[in-house]
Structure 1
Amino acid sequence: MPDNKIEELSEDIKQQLPEHAQQIFLAALNAAQKDALSEEGAREIAWNSVKNEYEPGNDGKWQRKPEDTAIHNKSVTSGGN
């Protein structure tokens, strides 16, 4: 059942996740289902996609992870000649 819409997500997911996280969840869910993954497999991928940017807060609602400035400010050096 690919191409789900945010309105079709369960109330539990809509209450836990902010709108942006719902969009991430839905995009990953739809993509996984289009790749013929099972419903369970697609949901696992969707949650993992959310976990890349969000984490559960103390209140049970998910919040965006703080940016790791070390990752964003890291310079890339080449070991070439």
Structure 2
Amino acid sequence: MPYSSNSELPDSVRGVLPQGAQDIYRKAFNNAFEQYKDPDERRGDKSREQTAHQVAWAAVKKEYEKGDDDNWHKKS
């Protein structure tokens, strides 16, 4: 289930990530959801959606990091 806008993202994502990180998450999720539609392309027995969420978080973590204040900040 690809997301057409950030407002459709799960609360667990929208509630913690700033807007720019949400954009990255949404785009990465949507791309991975399409890329891993074939179960043979996924590791283990993870669902298409689980795999897409993992890829999306990994994409966010390339550009953002969680600070000591528990908020996500763009890496310098």
TM-score computed with the length of structure 1 as normaliser = 0.73
Partner of 1:40: 50
Answering whether residue 59 of structure 2 is matched by residue 49 of structure 1, we say yes
RCO (CA 8 Å, sep 6+): is it higher in 1 or 2?
Answer: 2
Letter in 2 for 1:24: I
Runs of at least 5 residues in structure 2 that lack an aligned partner in the other structure: 43-47
The count of corresponding residues between Structure 1 and Structure 2 is: 66
Could you give the per-residue CA deviations for residues 36-69 of structure 1, whole angstroms, max 9, x where no partner exists?
1611110110000000000001222210111xxx
After the TM superposition, list the runs of 4 or more consecutive aligned residues in structure 1 that deviate by more than 6 angstroms. Answer: none
SS in 2 for 1:55: strand
Instruction: Calculate percent identity across the aligned residue pairs.
Output: 38
Could you give the per-residue CA deviations for residues 12-35 of structure 1, whole angstroms, max 9, x where no partner exists?
211211100000000000001111
Task: Tell which deviates more after alignment, 20-29 or 7-16.
Answer: 7-16
Distance 1:62 1:46 in 2: 15
Compare CA radii of gyration and give the structure with the larger one: 1
Runs of at least 5 residues in structure 1 that lack an aligned partner in the other structure: 67-81
